[in-house]
């Protein structure tokens, strides 16, 4: 299913994920880039599947970290309006 012209893609993967191997995600990332797609990969060491969910990490650190990562990605790609967060989220 990988072909040129796919939408920008952000992959967030736990290195210790037992449901989806980090090797398969790295291969997907490599193939996406090889055909010219804008694809970014962020791998979190020692994290399992779903590590970014609200209740899965101490103090919800990974939840907020990945939320900020996604927001930054969307802003860099000019997908998210720069002033939107202050209007919609808890700040």
Q: What is the per-residue pLDDT across 24-59, written as a single tens digit (0 to 9) for each?
A: 999 999 999 999 999 999 999 999 998 888 876 566
CB 36 within 8 A of CB 4: yes
> What's the mean pLDDT in 55-66?
77
Statement: residue 6 has pLDDT above 70? yes
Geometric angle at alpha carbon 65, from 59 and 66, rounded to 5°: 120
> What's the pLDDT score for residue 57?
58
9-88 placed in CATH 3.40.50.1220: no
Q: What tokens appear for 40 in the block?
A: 């970014």
> What's the pLDDT score for residue 37?
98
What is the CB neighbour count within 10 angstroms for residue 90? Answer: 5
Domain ranges of the chain: 9-88
What is the CB neighbour count within 10 angstroms for residue 40? Answer: 16
Whole-number mean pLDDT of the chain?
Answer: 87
């Amino acid at each position: 299913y990988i072909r040129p012209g796919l939408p920008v893609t952000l992959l967030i993967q736990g290195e210790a994920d037992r449901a989806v191997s980090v090797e398969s995600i790295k291969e997907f990332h490599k193939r996406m880039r090889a055909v010219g797609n804008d694809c970014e990969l962020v791998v979190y060491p020692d994290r399992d599947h779903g590590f970014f969910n609200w209740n899965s990490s101490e103090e919800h650190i990974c939840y907020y970290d990945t939320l900020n990562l996604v927001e930054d990605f969307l802003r860099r790609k000019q997908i998210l309006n720069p002033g939107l967060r202050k209007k919609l989220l808890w700040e």
